[in-house]
Structure 1
Amino acid sequence: MAVAIKETITIEGQDITLSNPNKLLWPELGITKLQYMQKLIILAPYLLPYCQNRYLTTIRYPNGIDGKSFYQKNIPPTAPAFVNSAQKDSIHYVILDSLSTLLWLGNLAALEFHTSFEYVGGEEPAEWILDIDPSEEDEPRLMEAIAIIGDTLNSLGINSIPKTSGATGVQIIIPIKRGHTFEQLRRIGHFLGRFLTEKYPDLFTIERLIKNRGSKIYIDYVQHSAGKSLSAPYTPRARKLATVSTPLLWTEVKQNVDLRTFNLFTIEDRLKKHGDLITKVAKQDLSAILRGIK
């Protein structure tokens, strides 16, 4: 009969239980829960800034990525006192604002962290994000498409940065100043999507229904709205290769970088080399482009 092992670690003055530290969360890669939590400590300075004032949804895999999973929005009733929460509608969301909370979630086998597009207590978008999804999992044209979108945004005077979703797609982040609305950003997204689908009809689509997209790459500007969420920058993903949602250099995009290379094994060296690439893009006022497409 197996004996459950529990250890206690102290982080930020808080005692956190580490149960079953040798449990395999990524069995094929040999990544245990203890190793995962060590990776979370490395990711924390980069992940937490994009979570600490957002409504959090986690995806938990109690028996590793090959087992059953479930989404968790409501804070568990057994949450320790140091875990903060915020209510929106009928849901009490965890607020991921500390390393101790992150490791508590890691011990619960929360392998993915998805955050709201708006800040807690507000209605404004925190940034503008375009979600670019290939219709086919192995899409050789994806980086070509991302480069085209980036160049088009740049031609409109909009600076952006791509990040891997950690799955099959890429998200393009546009840092913005306060004062924009989701509706305004959707108008720009619609304008951009129409332009690109007309100029590159064999490459892009803004069709919502997957069955009607064929092999085209979907420019999703509709998902970006209050009450919805997306994989946070630097979140791990419950994928076979333990990928991490990672910001990219535009030069990497144009070199057709392989999304699978950004994972729990490589992320530490990358962060040491590049830091947080998102913070290197200044927040922008998109009022001029809004006036231009009115």
Structure 2
Amino acid sequence: MPADRLKVEVEGRSLELSNLDKVLYPEAGFTKGEVIDYYTRIAPVLLPHLADRPLTRIRYPNGVGGASFFEKNAPAATPAWVRTETLPAPGSSKGRETIDYVVADDLPTLVWLANLAALELHTPQWKIGDHPDMMVVDLDPGAPAALKQCCEVALLMRDRLAEDGIDSYPKTSGKKGMQLCCPIAGTQDSDLVSGYARRIAQELEKAHPKQIVSKMAKNLRPGKVFIDWSQNNAAKTTVAPYSLRAQAVPAVSTPLTWDEVEAGAAGKRPSTKPYTAGEVLNRVEKQGDLLAPLVEGGPELPES
């Protein structure tokens, strides 16, 4: 076996890892081996958020500074033990009617994906065969607005959703914005969920026009936070909690407490710099999974 390859057993599955010393985050010197180590250690809190969801990956075979590609289909050399599901492909850019998705339900699959330099993991708001069981509101700042302003808007959104009995759980995107994730009953279709999110975004825009925009036109966004309600479309995905992001450092989409969001709105962390892989592992050791309630389900959304 070549010196840059290593055979390992992961929960009874045989995998061959390669190029473990390859640097995937040059500015931080973070290697593929460290990516695999991170995903292995974060798996107990990550896997419940991936379970039964078709997975879209963004792969960076030559690191975050090199070319990347989205991958929905299971690659040709997918091991037979990796779970795949053939599902309709709404909005496929390649005109496909179906896609053979990978479903990452276990640690061996997660390690296999990390070895393919699948740094970013994205999931839809629905499980296979079900209606959406989660509503996601994406908060996207238009410069010079930044994460601080997202935290301010997140607090407004939290309070408005609470009026309808909807709990919301914040996380950073791992880039410049953040998301609010809301567990809902898996009984309503994506059009209803998207329509509700849009209505709330428009309400908040009307009440706070200097801070918030609900329309997608980019020329309306400078200095404001765009509440992207469209994430709940059946064809859309959102970065999974605890996923790495392709930034200069190994930033992570990080679950937050509401106390931290209030601190961010006051200009303190997390609005100053992203949390990284090592920091997130430490946070989970102390706090557990702040997004655990998402897998327990929630109420139906009120219809307009």
C-alpha contact 2:139 2:178 (8 A) present in aligned 1: yes
C-alpha contact 1:117 1:126 (8 A) present in aligned 2: yes
Q: AA paired with 1:79?
A: T
> How far 1:164 moved relative to its partner?
0.8
Q: Deviations over 1:190-218 (max 9, x none)?
A: 22112111110010001112123232110
Structure 2 segments unaligned to the other structure (5+ residues): 89-97
Distance 2:226 2:274 in 1: 23
Q: AA paired with 1:11?
A: V
- Match for residue 258 of structure 1? 270
Q: Deviations over 1:218-243 (max 9, x none)?
A: 01112212122110111111111211
> How far 1:4 moved relative to its partner?
6.0
SS of the residue corresponding to residue 126 of structure 2 reads strand
Q: AA paired with 2:253?
A: S
Map of 1:37-56 to 2, 5 A cutoff?
A: 37-56=36-55
> How far 1:138 moved relative to its partner?
5.5
Q: AA paired with 1:232?
A: A
Distance 2:141 2:298 in 1: 28
C-alpha contact 2:60 2:118 (8 A) present in aligned 1: yes
Q: CA RMSD in A?
A: 1.7
Map of 1:62-73 to 2, 5 A cutoff?
A: 62-73=61-72
Q: Deviations over 1:4-39 (max 9, x none)?
A: 611111101111111111000111111111111111
C-alpha contact 1:4 1:20 (8 A) present in aligned 2: no
> How far 1:181 moved relative to its partner?
2.0
- Match for residue 281 of structure 2? 268
Distance 1:244 1:200 in 2: 30
Q: AA paired with 2:270?
A: D
Structure 1 segments unaligned to the other structure (5+ residues): none
SS of the residue corresponding to residue 74 of structure 1 reads coil
Report percent identity of matched pairs: 35
Equivalent of residue 117 in structure 2, options 109, 121, 133: 109
Say yes or no: does 1:133 pair with 2:132. Answer: no
- Match for residue 156 of structure 1? 164
**Deviant stretches of 4+, over 6 Å:** none
Equivalences, count:
287
> How far 1:114 moved relative to its partner?
0.5
C-alpha contact 2:38 2:277 (8 A) present in aligned 1: yes
Say yes or no: does 1:170 pair with 2:163. Answer: no
C-alpha contact 2:145 2:223 (8 A) present in aligned 1: no
- Match for residue 34 of structure 1? 33
SS of the residue corresponding to residue 112 of structure 1 reads strand
> How far 1:137 moved relative to its partner?
6.8
Q: Deviations over 1:86-126 (max 9, x none)?
A: 1123211111111101111111111000012221133x002
C-alpha contact 1:117 1:227 (8 A) present in aligned 2: no
Distance 2:113 2:199 in 1: 40
> How far 1:147 moved relative to its partner?
1.3
Q: AA paired with 1:228?
A: K
Distance 1:190 1:75 in 2: 33
Distance 2:126 2:298 in 1: 17
Distance 1:52 1:280 in 2: 14
- Match for residue 78 of structure 2? 79
- Match for residue 297 of structure 2? 283
Equivalent of residue 246 in structure 1, options 247, 254, 275: 254
Note closer, same or farther for the CA distance 1:277–1:230 as it changes in structure 2 (3 Å cut).
Answer: same
Equivalent of residue 205 in structure 1, options 213, 219, 222: 213
Map of 1:157-236 to 2, 5 A cutoff?
A: 157-236=165-244
**Structure 1 length as normaliser, TM-score?**
0.92
**Structure 2 length as normaliser, TM-score?**
0.89
Distance 2:155 2:124 in 1: 26
Deviates more, 1:246-255 or 1:141-150: 141-150
Distance 2:256 2:119 in 1: 22
Say yes or no: does 1:14 pair with 2:27. Answer: no
C-alpha contact 1:85 1:92 (8 A) present in aligned 2: yes
Equivalent of residue 150 in structure 2, options 142, 147, 151: 142
Distance 1:251 1:207 in 2: 29
Distance 2:139 2:48 in 1: 23
